Amino acid sequence: MLLFTPGPTPVLEDIRSEMAKPTIHHRTPEFEEYFAKARLGLKMILKMPEVLMLASSGSGAMEACIRTFCTKKLLSVNSGKFGERFGKIAKAYNIPNVEIKHNWDTPARMEEILDLIKKDENIDAVAIQVCESAGGLRHPVEEISEAIKSFNPEIFVIADGITAMGVEDIDTRYIDVLIGGSQKAFMLPPGMSIIGLSQKAIEMIEARDIGFYFNLKTELKNQVANTTAWTAPTTIIIGLVKYFEIVESMGGIEKIYEQTKKRALATQNALKSIGLKIYPKIPAIAMSTVIDELNASAIAKILKNDFDVNVAGGQDHLKTSIFRINHMGIIPLNEALWVVNAIELALDKLGVRKFNGCANIAFLESYYA
Ligand SMILES: *Cc1c(COP(=O)(O)O)cnc(C)c1O
């Protein structure tokens, strides 16, 4: 079965065998060496001065960041399930929250965010996804963060980059906090979250001592010394170091960004060539989302049962009307090509459109253009 869901992504054979080696203790020089390499690799990818790794799924880091970086009022962007989650976290901790709510196909606009922070001086943090995975859209985070910082550099910009980190070169110059997760573009098992930090975020962490397990001050103090406050997710960190080695051997992360983008565009061109509609107004690179109220569920089912391809359906009101195809990670071209081929075959089975290999052609013409 080809796993083409936008998280978890498949774990590469080389990473799996690395992680299958006998477990080592986390309070040892051997593990500290792995940890130092993982820190270095992440800082290079994020282009941020500091990074933390936590034993939790991505939502754990989202929670830790809202609690640590918002002291008065949170402005969060809700264009889908993950943006909504920021608001739910604020609510759980009684943090006042204003929300910008959009359809799941619609990215936030810089102007509406500026309007709100100009009107309400209590807003001291803005939380937004880079890629909102519910509908697969890309928010203009770079433009938004730059505008926020030029209006008031004291406002924290918290970006959930879980489906953008390792996918594309995010401009982090105006972002204070960038959240990532092991199970997306790094092609690792679920269980570790990542937080990239700006200088301002580091200072805030030092000044603020909040929470227990997710106390970022405790973590920072330990992690700069290449250890963790609690038992580290050692296996995943060892896998991450292997991931960086693989990326290096392929010519560096820029090569991965370039290939991912080409694959995403080729997939979208292939889908359009067989009459399918891309859902978000601005698609992210991490995934392609197709909207088809009539057939989305049936297509996904045929892909799985007849063609060994596992794509993701939708959530909530979009449960049966969309399906999402992953582009994150290091994906063999022949697999990506098989996916669009299988979708075209599924449309034939459903009697929607006669198969003529058009998706394959459009994919290859786009990829090798
Ligand atoms: C996957 C994902 C998360 C993390 O969810 P967890 O299940 O807690 O790992 C958060 N934000 C986005 C945009 C995601 O795609």
Cβ of 315 below 6 Å from ligand 1: no
pLDDT of amino acid 181: 98
pLDDT of amino acid 242: 98
Cβ of 58 below 6 Å from ligand 1: yes
> Residue 267 is encoded by which pair of tokens?
């997939």
Instruction: Work out the widest C-alpha separation in the chain, in whole angstroms.
Output: 64
Ligand 1 centre from 59 Cα, in Å?
6
- Helices 333-349/358-367 angle, 10° precision: 150
What parts of the chain have a pLDDT lower than 50? none
pLDDT of amino acid 208: 94
Q: pLDDT of 227-251, one tens digit each?
A: 999 999 999 999 999 999 999 999 9
Phi-psi label, residue 47: left if phi above 0, alpha if psi -120 to 50, beta otherwise: left
Cβ of 9 below 6 Å from ligand 1: no
pLDDT of amino acid 308: 98
Which atom belonging to ligand 1 lies closest to the Cα atom of 161? Answer: 13
DSSP secondary structure letter of residue 49? S
Which residue ranges form the domains of the chain, and what is each CATH number?
13-249 (3.40.640.10), 252-367 (3.90.1150.10)
pLDDT of amino acid 218: 98
pLDDT of amino acid 66: 98
Phi-psi label, residue 22: left if phi above 0, alpha if psi -120 to 50, beta otherwise: beta
Cβ of 160 below 6 Å from ligand 1: yes
Cβ of 312 below 6 Å from ligand 1: no
Q: pLDDT of 55-65, one tens digit each?
A: 999 999 999 99
Residues 6+ apart with CB under 8 A from 255: 247
The answer, as to whether pTM is greater than 0.95, is yes
